[in-house]
């Protein structure tokens, strides 16, 4: 089945499978759940209810994150521009006229004295940012080929700060300043590779059982890397470059990423060495989290061994909620979810949503793709009960800027492009997850491509092409600095959206229920379980008004328009409302009455998932907003699989995690807004996968 057909269908899918399972006689245990005894002891009932703990909303999900390339923001100390090296740009890496070289931005410029509202961290705090993600700071291999390491991803000395970015003292000042402003700091780290130092006698990727290439290091560079273990060529795969035209799993995980030295992340000494060196950045500078570059290119067991050591380092200095989110550039949500469900990565950047949200904001795709992606969150739900809170984005330093991504879809110019960019940002801020805004987007930067073409200067640029490039919402920057542009409409919209998230926390921690879509318009309910209140976020990507008519969970209530250009409305006795949505807009409605609690025990079922190799656990229950915990006993005792707070209520079980041919017991426990728990009878299914 085409996965796009799941929109709407999934709302009833689990019940349909359940009905078939209950009413069709069959010997096929793989297809149908089996009845089981409903009798449990008091001790077992208490255990089941204790495992059905409430859903957890992480601090990360509350954050609005500014992603910045340190070299391109502000030059606070021109004395460090060349890294205290002398010679041509091939030695120093500095050439502010070339988009592929260092331009002079540094930590001192990014900090901005901590109190300057015109630039630096105070400016970002005033725009509503509560987190900042900075590119890697380790000492770089200055120049490789026709480009320099201004971006920070070609590290050779992982123990300290590259002098072009500043000093360790300036880094401490930066982190302390951010914390004083209520901002968390996330450091970009690279565990997959180092800068290109190891030489290979060959280039194309070679698969096992063929031996790796002969590897060597030039005499002058034999001690270039730090820590010292990084200078041992045996700690690298040495199998040649990734073949982007067609690559096996081994190639993806063991190949050199564009010639960069691929670390042998299967080896315990490499895992432990990376944990020690990056743990020291936490204990010395008090970072609040890591973003993992090229996260899908390491050995799949790496995170299961590395992350516990990193978290231990954080806890040793009192950081209990250290966040780790990975760059797993996979747009297929089920495949991407494996990095969390199976391979131990705590969180990810939401590439599947990125893949559809630019098309929606650009007007080339309807609401179905966005709604489907939200339903796919269930594949990432885990036993720890954490609600899905990925980092959401539309553009970045690799893909290209938000405005460029949307313009490429729509072909829009002028006011329409501005409206579409603001619509895209509204989606990021008003849906689940932590919105990540790429630096410079708040000044209307567009760009003409990804990578180097998307890494503009915020301070006055000497790149002539950037001086004349089109911007959305303002004129080309010319010889001036973007900091001189006051009240930019994109930046002001971001400020307004951040205030909404602060005023209405349900926008980041409320359960999500896609409601209705009509030719580019869509309505999505959010539920504040503590206040027993329903909110509805509404979007329209059409250049014409659209009428939405949809069910809510709050009948006979006034829905007040608390933001956006829509009228307040009333739901009928069945909960239905009608809303006229203006073109290229977003809005929020808030129910003035509490949603009613309709309590009934859930009924739990198991069946093969139609879209993956997993077992699908589903619960049929009342229409009241609730949290449903799914528990399983495969013979080793009860454990929670996941908790789902959004209808249809589902969880997924990897058959490889169950003994082959074994029969497991399953149960679902509903938690209602008033704290009431109701549990299903126990069912059984046999793992024949």
Catalytic residues: 293, 327
Q: How far apart are alpha carbons 224 and 238 in whole angstroms?
A: 18
Q: What is the DSSP letter of 523?
A: E
Is residue 409 within 8 A of residue 363, CB to CB? The reply is: yes
Give residue 160's Cα distance to chain centre.
Answer: 27
Whether the CA torsion 10, 15, 16, 20 is positive or negative: it is positive
Measured CA angle at 148 (ends 165, 154), to 5 deg: 75
103/155 Cα distance (integer angstroms): 18
b/e string for 21-41 if b means 16 or more Cβ within 10 A?
beeeeeeebebbbeeeeeebe
Q: CA 251, 255, 261: angle at the middle one, nearest 5? A: 170
Q: Rounded to whole angstroms, how far apart are CA atoms 534 and 669?
A: 22
Asked if 368 and 375 count as a contact pair (C-beta separation under 8 A), the reply is: no
CA distance 487 to 510: 31
The CA distance from 686 to 559, in Å, is: 47
User: What is the CB-side half-sphere exposure of residue 317 using CA atoms within 13 A?
Assistant: 15
What is the Cα–Cα distance from 414 to 416, expressed in whole angstroms? 6
Q: Which two tokens stand for residue 320?
A: 């209990």
609 contact partners, CB below 8 Å, separation of at least 6: 615, 616, 652
Please report, for residues 23, 240, 619, 688, the alpha-carbon distance to residue 35 in angstroms, rounded to integers and kept in the order given. 12, 55, 15, 17
10: three-class secondary structure by DSSP: helix
Neighbouring C-beta atoms of residue 78, cutoff 10 Å: 10
At 167, list the tokens: 């000093």
3-state helix, strand, coil in the chain (%, to 5): 30, 25, 45
């Amino acid at each position: 089945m085409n996965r796009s057909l799941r929109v709407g269908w999934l709302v009833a899918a689990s019940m349909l499978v359940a009905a078939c399972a209950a009413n069709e006689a069959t010997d096929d245990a793989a297809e149908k759940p089996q009845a089981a005894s409903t009798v449990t002891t008091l001790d077992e009932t208490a255990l089941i209810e204790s495992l059905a703990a409430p859903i957890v909303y992480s601090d990360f999900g509350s954050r609005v994150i500014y992603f910045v390339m340190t070299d391109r923001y502000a030059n606070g100390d021109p004395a460090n521009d060349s890294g205290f090296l002398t010679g041509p740009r091939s030695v120093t890496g500095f050439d502010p006229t070339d988009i592929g070289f260092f331009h002079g931005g540094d930590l001192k410029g990014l900090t901005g004295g901590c109190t300057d509202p015109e630039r630096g961290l105070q400016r970002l705090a005033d725009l509503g940012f509560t987190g900042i993600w900075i590119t890697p700071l380790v000492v770089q291999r200055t120049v490789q080929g026709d480009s320099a390491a201004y971006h920070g991803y070609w590290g050779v000395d992982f123990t300290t700060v590259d002098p072009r970015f500043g000093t360790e003292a300036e880094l401490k000042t930066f982190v302390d300043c951010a914390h004083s402003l209520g901002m968390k700091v996330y450091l970009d780290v690279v565990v997959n590779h180092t800068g290109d130092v190891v030489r290979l006698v060959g280039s194309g990727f070679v698969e096992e059982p063929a031996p790796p290439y002969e590897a060597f290091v030039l005499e002058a560079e034999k001690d270039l890397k730090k820590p010292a273990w990084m200078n041992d060529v045996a700690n690298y795969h040495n199998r040649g470059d990734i073949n982007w035209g067609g690559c096996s799993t081994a190639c993806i995980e063991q190949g050199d990423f564009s010639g960069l030295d691929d670390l042998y992340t299967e080896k315990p000494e490499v895992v432990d060495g990376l944990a020690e060196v990056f743990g020291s950045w936490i204990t010395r500078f008090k970072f609040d989290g890591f973003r993992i570059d090229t996260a899908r290119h390491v050995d799949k067991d790496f995170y299961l061994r590395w992350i516990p050591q990193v978290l231990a380092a954080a806890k040793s200095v009192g950081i209990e909620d250290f966040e780790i989110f990975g760059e797993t550039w996979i747009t297929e949500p089920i495949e991407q979810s494996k990095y969390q469900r199976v391979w131990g990565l705590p969180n990810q950047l939401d590439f599947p949503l990125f893949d559809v949200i630019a098309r929606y904001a650009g007007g080339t795709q309807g609401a179905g793709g966005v709604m489907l992606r939200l339903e796919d969150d269930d594949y990432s739900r885990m036993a720890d009960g954490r609600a899905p809170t990925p980092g959401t984005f539309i553009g970045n330093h690799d893909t290209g800027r938000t405005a460029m991504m949307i313009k490429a879809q729509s072909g829009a110019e002028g006011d329409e492009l501005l409206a579409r960019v603001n619509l895209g940002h509204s989606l990021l801020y008003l849906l689940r997850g932590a919105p990540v805004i790429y630096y410079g987007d708040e000044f209307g930067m567009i760009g003409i491509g990804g990578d180097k073409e998307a890494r503009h200067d915020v301070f006055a640029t000497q790149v002539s092409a950037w001086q004349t490039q089109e911007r959305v919402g303002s004129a080309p920057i010319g010889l001036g600095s973007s900091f001189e542009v006051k009240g930019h409409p994109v930046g002001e919209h971001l400020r307004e959206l951040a205030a909404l998230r602060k005023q209405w926390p349900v926008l980041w921690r409320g359960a999500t229920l896609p409601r209705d879509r009509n030719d580019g318009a869509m309505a999505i309910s959010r539920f504040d379980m503590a206040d027993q209140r329903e909110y509805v976020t509404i979007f329209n990507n059409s250049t014409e008004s659209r009428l939405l008519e949809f069910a809510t969970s709050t009948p006979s209530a006034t829905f007040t328009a608390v933001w956006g250009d829509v009228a307040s409305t009333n739901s009928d006795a069945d909960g239905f409302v009608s809303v006229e949505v203006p073109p290229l807009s977003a809005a929020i409605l808030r129910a003035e009455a509490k949603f009613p609690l309709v309590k009934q025990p859930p009924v739990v079922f198991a069946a093969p998932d139609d879209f993956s190799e997993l077992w699908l656990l589903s619960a049929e229950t009342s229409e009241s907003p609730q949290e449903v915990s799914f528990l399983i006993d495969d013979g080793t005792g009860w454990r929670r699989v996941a908790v789902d707070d959004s209808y249809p209520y589902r969880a997924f079980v990897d058959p490889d995690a169950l003994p082959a041919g074994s029969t497991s017991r399953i149960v679902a426990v509903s938690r209602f807004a008033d704290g009431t728990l109701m549990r299903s009878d126990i069912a059984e299914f046999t793992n024949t996968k």
